[in-house]
Structure 1
Amino acid sequence: MDELTRVRDWDTGAEGLSDRARAAARARLETAITEESRGRTARTGGLNRRLVLRTALAGAVAAGAGVTVVVTRDGAPHRTAPLHTVSAAEVLRRAADRSRTANRDLPVPRDDQYFYTRIYVVQTYLKGGRTRTWTDESWMSVDGSKPSLRQENGKIHHDPPLGKHEVRWPPTVYSELQKWPTDPDKLLDQFRHGMKSSLRNDVDAFFEGCMLLMGPRVLPPALQAAAFEALSKLPRIRLDYHDATVAGRRAVGVSHPGAAFTFLFDRKTYDYLGLRTKGSSAKKVNGEWKQVNSYYRTTTLEDIQVVDRIGQHH
């Protein structure tokens, strides 16, 4: 149903759909889908599925006083801000251009310092639509040689220093990140661990990119842009219009069908806003752990600083 999100650039300043117009739009769309699925090409002039669905939706939008309607995965229409038709790869390339000036004011962290982060978390459960929010503050040792204080879902965790044979991946030490390639093709090869493109290897590459950009870390110049450009070369990446807002900003997502992560970008500026993940709650039933409620979790980095001690903000 992703093709239904391609109708853009209608006047979103108009009033919302009336109940009558909304019902008419839904009926017209469902009729088009039913006719196409039964192979009734006579009524559509032999149009292919994508054009049938786009035409049906365009007619529904026109009937609804110029309001853009997007049919989400659960079939519920809602209004959305206009977004020019671009590919997922193009969104990532524009995000790369935008990121070249990001975090320029952050100093190069010393190994003995800390990353201070403030992260806003929104967790929405699929059943019932219940939403929970947290603002988590954490202080993570740059090289892992010192204890760290991490807040997760409002709960504080005291993490010991890394063990002798423990390492972080991707690294957080700046000198290690400087060794990473900033050529997108070479970086993509590293994300794939030198393996050829395949569904499994591409999912792993997408995951590696998510881990690098998730932070907290200070990336050398051009590395973040190179990461977005490298991921733009992956086959099967797709746009996701499910996300309406992130920290008050209209967002569009870029995801991979085999991964649980979605990159979120501002729809107008292509600023990188954060990540959305899909997870589930576990409950013990008859002695066995079972997944009982799935949710979407959106994390937005509100602040990152390089500080000298736990408790310091600037």
Structure 2
Amino acid sequence: MTADSQASANSGQWTIRKVLEWTTAHLKKHGSATPRLDAEVLLAHARKCHRIQLYTHYDEELTEEVRASMRDLVQRRARQEPVAYLVGEREFFSLPFSVNADVLIPRPDSETLIVEAISCLKPTPADDTASVASRAWRIVDLCTGSGCLAITLARQLPTAQLIATDLSDKALAVARQNLERHSLADRVELRQGSLLKPLENEPLFDLIVSNPPYIPTADIETLEEDVRRHEPRLALDGGADGMDLLRPLITEGAKHLLPGGWMLLEFTSEQAPALMNYAHAQPDWSLVQVVKDLSQLPRVLKLQKRS
């Protein structure tokens, strides 16, 4: 909120209620799709409290320190800076992850990878989650970014050992921070490199997961402004058709899997037919399937290596 906006507003205290109302209207005017949620998250961050506490202290006047912090956050959000970067955190699969502009912001659609991974590792339909968790699975997460996939799988599968790779050293620094945050540095090894290269001379894996860059280059400019301007292009741009990284994974991934092992790849729904055709043309896969996300859109390519 600017000095002019404060002066033009009706005189009175800047309570939590008033700041939320003003910020919601301001962010809506500047194109936010979720202005009320943005306002609540930003104010909770400025006030260093949980969102629910905003409503239990609804008529409390904000201190000048909190108002100054909120002014800066609102101005930056109005310039389309993502809320997750402003507060430095995003939740994924009910776990908190530190994020900054060096990594893609975790999204709910990617949780489909976690659900499918656990499903794939069940040896028979009769096995429950506890039996899956007791196995010493070997898993690799390619293009790990913030590390949210590897860390979530490590939490869900307490005896699994994981390797997480990324081309970006800055992204790996964020992943390392999240490993320390979740006390998993002893179970998830970080490696720098492109796609499968960091896995040379490694024993075979039970599972490969990846959320690689898959947006077609020409489509980058059509993305929402906060994504286009602020999220790392390296984590978005998948080449002319968005499949520059998906194709080599489909072609070469089976070489790094045990017989019957699985590979799960995230993609955008428009790529489903081309990816299915490409995967079916590879001799290493006994199963080729597309899995839908919570919005019922094709989201994950599910491949199983021949036994």
More strand per residue: 1 or 2?
Answer: 1
Q: Do the two structures share a fold, i.e. TM-score over 0.5? A: no
Name the TM tier (shorter chain): under 0.3
**TM-score normalised by structure 2 residue count:** 0.22
Structure showing the higher helix proportion among its residues: 2
Q: Which has the higher contact order (CA 8 A, sep 6+)?
A: 1
Normalising to structure 1: TM-score of the pair?
0.22
